[in-house]
Amino acid sequence: MILIFCATFHVMLVSGFSLNDQVHQDPPELFCMTEDKPRINCKHEIQDYNRILWYKQSKDRRMQFLGYMNVKDGYPENGVKVTITGKATKGETCTLTLEGVDLSSSGVYFCAATYQGVNLNPAYFGRGTKLTVLEDGRKPTPPTVKIFPPSPNECRYKDKPDWKIRKTLVCVASGFYPDHVSVSWKLNDEDVTDEVATDPAAKWDKNKKYYNITSRLRVLAKYWFKPEIKFSCIVHFYNGEKNTTHPASISGNEKANIMTREKYLKITQNAKVSYSVLIVKSCVYGALVCFLVWKLQSSSRKRSK
């Protein structure tokens, strides 16, 4: 095992860790109907590599080996309805064709380049092709995108050092089909990647029969309280022919419901005064009740005598 590990590590050092960038798949996304025979192409630029492996990753992340091509001969796995044609050498194209697809054929398909002569050579993967087999009669539907401002109760204090508190904006894309989407954020015209949290995958609404996805952006409060800053959420949707963009924007709000130190002190001072007045009124009321009780008792004694 140590010998195998060292040999593999040596090959990776010689070849470089970035050889995945030399394995190309086309197209990156693909729709088809059940009667179609979708084709996925793979090409690599790695010297001496002459074997292409094909895999399918289902939505539950399991990988299925579909077959491989040695130089110019394709070898599909038994029971897998695919054909593998073309060539596996540098600069040539190897094509995976899916036969008899159904809804379960949806997934991400990967090719990987390796060398068929030495088993210790690593395999370098392409970026994958996301395939969706459309339900009968359904057409791609783009998303509706909305941005929701931060809650007024989230980190309301404005007087912390450097305003290091943060506000959370929420972007919701809903009503789209299928789930070929990605989400990005911008502050004015600048891309933002820090403090962005997007759902790892779109969620299927089984009642409405559409997908939804949510992304959250946390920004420093000093940005949110500047109306000249525009926050944009851009949803990229593949419609079967090209990627379309669906943006939504919201501007900062300097009149947001914040709690400054002065406002906090004023509210607490007013509360103290109100509480003191309430205590005084209670005492006066108690004294009045005691006086009335005493008067009633005195009148009662006089009548008895």
Per-residue pLDDT in tens (0 to 9) along the chain, 305 residues: 333 333 333 333 333 456 888 999 999 999 999 999 999 999 999 998 999 999 999 988 899 999 999 999 999 999 999 999 999 999 999 999 999 899 999 999 999 999 977 566 789 999 999 999 999 889 999 999 999 999 877 765 545 444 568 899 999 999 999 999 999 999 999 999 999 999 999 999 999 999 999 999 999 888 898 999 999 999 999 999 999 999 999 999 876 545 555 555 665 676 666 777 678 777 777 777 777 766 676 666 666 65
Domain count of the chain? 3
Number of Cβ within 10 Å of residue 85's Cβ equals 14
* Pair 191, 125 in one domain: no
Q: Do 24 and 114 fall into the same domain?
A: yes
Q: How far is CA 108 from CA 47, 98, 105, 133, in A?
A: 26, 13, 9, 12
CA 123 to CA 158: how far, in whole Å? 53
pLDDT at residue number 271:
67
Q: Are residues 115 and 16 in the same domain?
A: yes
Residue range of the domain that includes 22: 2-133
Give me the CATH number covering residue 125. Answer: 2.60.40.10
Q: Are 117 and 172 contained in the same domain?
A: no
6 lies in the same domain as 129:
yes
Co-location of 129 and 152 in the same domain? no
| CA–CA distance, 205 with 177 (Å, rounded to integer) | 11
* Claim to verify: residue 63 and residue 35 sit in the same structural domain: yes
Reference 128, options 33, 23, 51; nearest CA is: 23
Question: CA quadruple 251, 252, 257, 263: dihedral positive or negative?
Answer: negative
Phi, psi of 152 (to 5 degrees): -65, -20
Does 287 map to a domain?
A: yes
- The verdict on 238 and 299 lying in the same domain is no
Task: Specify whether 181 is located in the same domain as 302.
Answer: no
What's the DSSP call for residue 225? T
- Which tokens sit at 176? 């789209």
Q: Are residues 151 and 234 in the same domain?
A: yes
